[in-house]
Amino acid sequence: MAIRNQLKLLLTAGSLIMTALAGPMQKAVHDDDDDTPLPLVIWHGLGDNYAAEGLHRVGDLAEAAHPGTLVYYIRMDDNTQRDQSATFFGNLTEQVAKACADIAAHPILASAPAIDALGFSQGGQFLRAYVERCNKPPVRSLVTFGSQHNGIVKFRDCGTTDWVCKAAMALLRGNAWSSYVQSRLVPAQYYRDPEQYDQYLDSSNFLADINNERAVKNDEYKANIEKLENLVLYMFEEDTTVVPKETAWFEEVNGTEITPLRARKMYSEDWLGLRALDRKGGLQFRTAPGDHMQLQEKLLNETFAEFFGPVKLGKKGVSQPAPVVLGDGDL
């Protein structure tokens, strides 16, 4: 209980005080207190920034579901405009490395036994890259909403006054596979057109690597995905922004042909540990109603109750993954 209150205080008081209290907190988190909720890291989507009101409303719901949850919003820059701009511009190898370094240097996150993770849209595949490449501290449950795990075949249209988006998409006048574009335009790094599969394998600066699609597989990526307790993949039923929407479930969509993950070679040969995770009941395919990122509060509440919170809840989740149990003691 005391730890909860302490964490709550830290959360509202801001990061300066957090640093000052880092010593005592580290001890507290190491005590095997089953009631202490694991910290939660959230990675926002394209065009958003880490301080956005809607994002914080979600974080507040997670905190309300499990009081005392420390919520950390991943950012590429403390300046919100530059953070937003980094959702379009940048090299994802460097962006993921920065998230890893920031989390590893955070006084509370770094000393937590594990963390939970919530990724919105492209933030979902970036958090998966955190798990595969770093995972220090390790992620227990990763929940992604409308993420492009198997890439996109089409770039989104920018709003008429969305100048950052327009500037970014202007880069595409060049070749999407060029190293110029691959090192600068974020969505190009998860562009994956099955019709141009060889170029993708040769040139993708991000997705071909984290999906372990190249001939030489990265064993650590696979081992880290297998270590997850849950990978929860939400697909928006009416998603018109992400093409194809089935990418949220790792499905291969080639023209009109849709191959579910369980029928794909990446699953049968288990390039990424997804089959192993599935066999222990940790791979969850879920749908959310509505268009891209039309998040419903009730669904968020249920998801947070099911997958986040104290360590003991997580253990329950693995042995009986299907039903949503809203334990009264912990809410």
Ligand X SMILES: *[C@@H]1O[C@H](CO)[C@@H](O)[C@H](O)[C@H]1NC(C)=O
Contact positions toward ligand X, by CB under 6 A?
61, 64-65, 91, 93-94, 179, 182-183, 194-195, 197, 205, 254, 297-298, 301
Report the alpha-carbon distance of residue 221 to residue 210 in Å, rounded: 7
Distance of closest approach, residue 61 Cβ to ligand X, in angstroms? 6
Q: What's the token pair of residue 48?
A: 């958003």
Report the alpha-carbon distance of residue 93 to residue 281 in Å, rounded: 30
248, 288 Cβ separation under 8 angstroms: no
Q: Is 203 an active-site residue?
A: no
Return the number of the residue (162 or 193) whose C-beta is nearest ligand X.
Answer: 193
Distance of closest approach, residue 62 Cβ to ligand X, in angstroms? 9
Residue with nearest beta carbon to ligand X: 183
- State the catalytic residue, choosing from 48, 83, 116, 239: 239
Return the number of the residue (138 or 290) whose C-beta is nearest ligand X.
Answer: 290
Return the number of the residue (141 or 203) whose C-beta is nearest ligand X.
Answer: 203
Distance of closest approach, residue 302 Cβ to ligand X, in angstroms? 8
- State the catalytic residue, choosing from 48, 106, 116, 121: 121
Would you call 118 helix, strand, or coil by DSSP?
Answer: strand
303, 232 Cβ separation under 8 angstroms: yes
Distance of closest approach, residue 31 Cβ to ligand X, in angstroms? 26
Peptide bond into 244 cis (omega under 30): yes
Across 224-238, b (16+ Cβ under 10 Å) vs e yields bbbbbbbbbbbbbee
Return the number of the residue (16 or 216) whose C-beta is nearest ligand X.
Answer: 216
Q: Is 121 an active-site residue?
A: yes
- State the catalytic residue, choosing from 44, 106, 149, 292: 292
Return the number of the residue (4 or 280) whose C-beta is nearest ligand X.
Answer: 4
Nearest Cα neighbor of 313 from 298, 295, 296, 328 is 328
Q: Is 239 an active-site residue?
A: yes
Distance of closest approach, residue 193 Cβ to ligand X, in angstroms? 9
Task: Tell me the C-alpha to C-alpha distance, in Å, between residue 180 and each of 155, 200, 206.
Answer: 17, 15, 14
**Residue 243 exposure: Cα atoms within 13 Å on the Cβ side:** 11
Residues with a known catalytic role: 121, 239, 292
